[in-house]
Structure 1
Amino acid sequence: MERGIESSFGRYLNYVRISVTDRCNFRCRYCMPSGGVPILSHEEIMSYEDILFLAKTLSSMGVKRLRFTGGEPFVRKDFVPFLERLRSELPDFAVAVTTNGSLVKPWAKRLGDLGLDGISVSLDSLKPDRFRNITRLGDLGSVIEGIDALVDSSNAVKLNTVMMKGFNDDELPDLLDFAREKGVLLRLIEFMPLDSEVWLENAFVSVDDMIDGLPDGELWIPERPSDSLTSGPSVYYRNRTTGQRLGLIAAVSHHFCDRCNRLRITSDGEVRPCLFDVRGRSVMSALRDRCSEALVETIAAAALDKPECWTKVARGESHMSRIGG
């Protein structure tokens, strides 16, 4: 694998998550407070032209994979036309999107035509009342319709579930059945202590507990780790009988900081070297001035700011909706 941007502690970064908006039509319990967060004005966030210039610069620095997030990216007008332009001008990038799925149905065919390398849809419950409780504003029906439309047009769909004790931890069998019926990969994610306003220690479920709770647990066997570009932080298990795969992301209990290959860039142009670290470096002036030299310099410096591990940073109040997850 080609290395990418040189970082601290012998790591190289070739994967960047870019938030296109801080706005969202949900208020998920693990992401933001019930009242939401102050939103940025249109003038304060990166334009699509800014993001395209940023992507071209990242490509020149050795970045191979981009994931576009929010907030909820489909809240932003013309997001899909932007992706189409990006694909046209930078066809060598691996491009993925993370969404809550509620607004994707009208765009599913065009997303399929783009041949995206990944479309991750958050699905935290299959029970309408629970789904509304976890997301506060979400309608499960619209998300299921979005998933169905995506599955009809793309083979790159994944489902992401943040497991929370007392909220959805008893739904693992149903979620596995749903994913198998749809022919998509389910990934289970640990609730992360990112923001004291939303963190509930009693709701934490470790990946070890998730594995212990697998139905027919003796049939699930771990796969060998992959060093592919798209492997990401998941550890995968496969069911010996059905062949179904399951991804588990243990950012807390078995963190993967030593092999983390990513940067995050917020919608207002701040480069965050670690999800948990409130420190960042702004590239907005360099973007607006179209100054490649200053942009490269700032991104390279941010990469070297990357801490050895998230457990060693001085954390503050970081809303995941602002950072892009």
Structure 2
Amino acid sequence: MIDQYGRNITYLRLSVTDRCNLRCRYCMPQEGVCKKPHAQMMTEDEMIAAVEAAASLGVTKLRVTGGEPLVKRNIVSICRRAARVPGIEELCLTTNGVLLPQLSAQLREAGVSRINLSLDTLDPDKYARITRVGRLEQALAGLEAALAAGWRVKINTVLIGGFNDDEVGRLAGLTLRYPVDVRFIELMPMLDSDEFGEAAFIPCTAVLERLPQAVPVAPDGGVARLYRLPDAQGNIGLISPVSDHFCGACNRIRLTADGKLKPCLHSADEISLRGLTKQQMRERMREVIWNKPACHAELSAHHHSLAGRNMNQIGG
């Protein structure tokens, strides 16, 4: 469906849970999330109905997110059913990788076509610090499991000044060792990003300063600007939602685990789809897509996102 600004909305990001087995500092509080009654969360049938409604409006790409989607007990069933919705051409999943060794074969068989793996550091101590409870070897085992299952993997790295900007070369070097893409994403000023301080934000252009040998490559239709190291097996992507936003090319809507449809990650606007028929969902989606804002408000260390939720509550 085309919105009022001429953008073709073809991409739905579906959060299946706001819970996670890690506690990444820019994503959620140390104590985790307040447990909501199951009655306040979308059921599997409601999620699939929402995917069907979105597909009927022209959505062709679905990304399953969390929280951490693999902690959802029925995640394989959700993916299997979603992959078979007419019109859905690509089903991607974003994960921290911890549970991939146990679930990769089932998810591959269910129809997941691509994996994005969150990995902000290759230093075990720093990994434990940023995740509060995680172990680097678990994430790397998840990466190996994803590659063994035959997926093309994109690694998502949130760029944090004073924390991992000194690892840009090592992280980008993963494209030399593995058939993976590494995407550096600017730290967004959400509810829980303050603890890093103002100096934590650095623009993605800093990556190029540290990788002078990287050369531009043709865009692939996504929001990342792409580069490649000599002899690399994959690309390096730069995603700049703060310093160089891509609102004019945004083609996505988001559905939270508690059933709120959001036209923009950084907007407080949301509308509930819970308890609706598929046709009612379709009409509300049509309304949300048409009224999708032209651009989100300014983002900076002094101008936080208006989303009003942590990232785990929206879907990273």
* Superposed pair shares fold, TM > 0.5: yes
Q: Post-superposition shift, 1:178?
A: 2.7
Kindly indicate whether the alpha-carbon contact (under 8 Å) linking 1:116 and 1:156 is maintained by their aligned counterparts in 2. no
Kindly indicate whether the alpha-carbon contact (under 8 Å) linking 1:161 and 1:186 is maintained by their aligned counterparts in 2. yes
Where does structure 1 lack aligned partners over 5 or more consecutive residues? none
Number of the residue aligned with 1:267: 257
Tell me, yes or no, if structure 1 residue 235 matches structure 2 residue 199: no
- 3-state SS in 1 of match to 2:166: coil
Q: Which amino acid aligns with 1:19?
A: S
Tell me, yes or no, if structure 1 residue 203 matches structure 2 residue 197: no
Which of 269, 285, 300 is equivalent to 1:279?
269
Number of the residue aligned with 2:107: 111
Q: Deviations over 1:149-198 (max 9, x none)?
A: 11111232111100101111111111122342122111111000122664
The alignment of Structure 1 onto Structure 2 pairs a total of residues equal to 310
Deviates further, 102-111 or 307-316: 307-316
Kindly indicate whether the alpha-carbon contact (under 8 Å) linking 2:192 and 2:310 is maintained by their aligned counterparts in 1. no
Tell me, yes or no, if structure 1 residue 323 matches structure 2 residue 314: yes
For 2:215 and 2:283, locate their aligned partners in 1 and report how far apart those are by CA, in whole Å. Answer: 44
Summarize the Cα distance change of 1:316–1:187 in structure 2 as closer, same or farther, 3 Å threshold: closer
Kindly indicate whether the alpha-carbon contact (under 8 Å) linking 2:27 and 2:192 is maintained by their aligned counterparts in 1. no
Q: Post-superposition shift, 1:50?
A: 1.0
Kindly indicate whether the alpha-carbon contact (under 8 Å) linking 1:23 and 1:321 is maintained by their aligned counterparts in 2. yes
For 2:58 and 2:87, locate their aligned partners in 1 and report how far apart those are by CA, in whole Å. Answer: 14
Calculate the TM-score normalised by the size of structure 1.
Answer: 0.89
Deviates further, 261-270 or 82-91: 82-91
Kindly indicate whether the alpha-carbon contact (under 8 Å) linking 2:152 and 2:179 is maintained by their aligned counterparts in 1. no
For 1:115 and 1:266, locate their aligned partners in 2 and report how far apart those are by CA, in whole Å. Answer: 22
Q: Which amino acid aligns with 2:267?
A: D
Which of 72, 76, 98 is equivalent to 2:94?
98
Q: Which amino acid aligns with 2:310?
A: H
Summarize the Cα distance change of 1:196–1:177 in structure 2 as closer, same or farther, 3 Å threshold: closer
Q: CA RMSD in A?
A: 1.9
Deviates further, 87-96 or 13-22: 87-96
Deviates further, 256-265 or 77-86: 77-86
Summarize the alignment of residues 62-101 of structure 1 with structure 2, pairs less than 5 Å apart.
62-90=58-86, 92-101=88-97
Kindly indicate whether the alpha-carbon contact (under 8 Å) linking 1:196 and 1:317 is maintained by their aligned counterparts in 2. no
Q: Which amino acid aligns with 1:23?
A: R
Calculate the TM-score normalised by the size of structure 2.
Answer: 0.92
Following TM superposition, the consecutive aligned residue runs of length 4 or more in structure 1 with deviations greater than 6 angstroms are none
Number of the residue aligned with 2:302: none
Which of 119, 133, 136 is equivalent to 1:137?
133
Q: Deviations over 1:135-156 (max 9, x none)?
A: 1111111111111111111232
Q: Post-superposition shift, 1:318?
A: 1.9
Tell me, yes or no, if structure 1 residue 22 matches structure 2 residue 18: yes
Summarize the Cα distance change of 1:198–1:39 in structure 2 as closer, same or farther, 3 Å threshold: farther
Deviates further, 254-263 or 117-126: 117-126
